[in-house]
């Protein structure tokens, strides 16, 4: 089926009224794109990232518009004609397959370190002796393509083996925990501030034959939730955190409490220019950085 994407530039002060007027004409399912809302969202959540893609910023630069979709049939075209009689709009045509399946062509198996290959769940794994880690890239962020994920998984090869229990702080899609389990670790506990993460991580784990007996994920903010920190417990030989610098820095004060004696802390998500700041925070909280790797302007520390 084909759809008509309709875009209506609208001053910010008139968006609510315009949506009501468009709804009265038969339109529905509005998407609001507004630069002020975008910038406000970034400002109020800046602790969760260190950069924003320039293309995304350009997309919202000066934006104040309403988008909605109509079926490309007699009914949808009738609504479009009515809308066009009242407002200046632009249109674009999109097929179901364009957004349902075409994105898959951009995902290919990704070799990571010496042992793993990250494979989209709809593809066959390469027959090259590597251990396949299957993911559904459509579920959430964390597909193995980012330098920080690759560096963490590569570091895990040294430490994820039989008898090891992993803790992944900010686990997202679950890729690090799943990778560690495939490499040989016994079990993994994860947590993430995103409430969708437990379901997504469980779904990705299931693609790899890993059940809740080996991988458990909680939702919450460990920086502010002491109860969650108690639930996660202690005694982990390997703790991981692939987040951002503004979270790693305060988190470094809590990590030692999760670790077993002699344990290792693998952390990444540290953008170029902030590595010294993060290292200082780690050292102030009793860690020694025993390995430091950088790739594509990102940094990864392995600490004791």
Band of pLDDT at residue 40, cut at 50, 70 and 90? low
Q: What is the pLDDT of residue 79?
A: 96
What is the rounded average pLDDT of the residues 7-34?
92
Q: What is the pLDDT of residue 87?
A: 95
Out of 8-22, 39-53, 111-125, 253-267, least confident range? 39-53
Is the pLDDT at 56 greater than 70? The verdict is no
pTM of the predicted model as reported, rounded to 2 decimal places: 0.71
More confident residue, 116 or 59: 116
Distance CA 160, CA 156 (A): 6
Q: What is the pLDDT of residue 57?
A: 58
What is the rounded average pLDDT of the residues 69-90?
94
Q: What is the pLDDT of residue 54?
A: 61
SS3 assignment for 73-98:
CHHHHHHHHHHHHHCCCEEEEEEHHH
Is the pLDDT at 292 greater than 90? The verdict is yes
Q: What is the largest CA-CA distance in the chain?
A: 72
Residues 200-230 have pLDDT tens digits of: 999 999 999 999 999 999 999 999 999 999 9
Residues 117-166 have pLDDT tens digits of: 988 878 888 888 899 999 886 654 556 678 999 999 999 999 999 999 99
Is the pLDDT at 47 greater than 50? The verdict is no
More confident residue, 165 or 35: 165
Is the pLDDT at 59 greater than 90? The verdict is no
What is the rounded average pLDDT of the residues 58-83?
87
Distance CA 62, CA 270 (A): 30
Residue 34 CB partners (closer than 8 Å, separation 6+): 12, 15, 60, 63, 64, 65
Question: Residue 171: what are its φ and ψ, rounded to 5°?
Answer: -80, -20
SS3 assignment for 249-264:
HHHHHHHHHHEEEEEE
More confident residue, 36 or 251: 251
Residue 153 CB partners (closer than 8 Å, separation 6+): 112, 113, 116, 144, 175, 176, 179
Q: Which of 48-57, 109-118, 196-205, 280-289 has the highest mean pLDDT?
A: 280-289
Q: Which domains does the chain have, with CATH numbers?
A: 2-100 (3.30.70), 140-303 (3.40.50.150)
DSSP bridge pairs for 6: 68, 91
């Amino acid at each position: 089926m084909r759809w008509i994407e309709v875009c209506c530039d609208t001053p910010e002060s008139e968006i609510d009224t315009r949506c009501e007027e468009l709804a009265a004409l038969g339109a529905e399912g509005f998407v609001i794109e507004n630069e002020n809302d975008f910038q406000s969202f970034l400002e109020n959540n800046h602790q969760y990232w260190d950069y924003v893609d320039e293309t995304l910023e350009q997309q919202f630069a000066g934006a104040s518009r309403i988008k909605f979709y109509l079926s490309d049939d007699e009914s949808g075209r009738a609504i479009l004609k009515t809308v066009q009689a009242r407002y200046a709009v632009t249109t674009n045509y999109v097929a179901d397959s364009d957004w349902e399946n075409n994105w898959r062509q951009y995902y290919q198996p990704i070799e990571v370190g010496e042992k793993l290959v990250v494979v989209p769940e709809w593809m066959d794994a390469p027959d090259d002796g590597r251990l396949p880690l299957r993911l559904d890239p459509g579920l959430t962020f964390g597909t193995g393509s980012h330098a920080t994920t690759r560096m963490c998984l590569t570091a895990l090869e040294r430490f994820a083996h039989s008898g090891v229990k992993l803790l992944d702080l900010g686990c997202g899609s679950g890729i690090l925990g799943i990778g560690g389990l495939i490499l040989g670790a016994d079990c993994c506990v994860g947590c993430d501030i995103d409430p969708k993460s437990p379901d997504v991580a469980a779904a990705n784990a299931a693609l790899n034959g890993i059940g809740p007996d080996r991988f458990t994920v909680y939702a919450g903010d460990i920086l502010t939730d002491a109860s969650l920190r108690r639930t996660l417990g202690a005694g982990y030989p390997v703790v991981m955190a692939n987040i951002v610098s503004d979270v790693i820095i305060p988190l470094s004060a809590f990590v030692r409490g999760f670790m077993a004696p002699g344990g290792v802390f693998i952390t990444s998500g540290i953008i170029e220019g902030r590595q010294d700041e993060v290292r200082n925070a780690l050292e102030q909280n009793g860690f020694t950085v025993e390995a430091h790797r950088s790739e594509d302007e990102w940094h990864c520390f392995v600490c004791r």
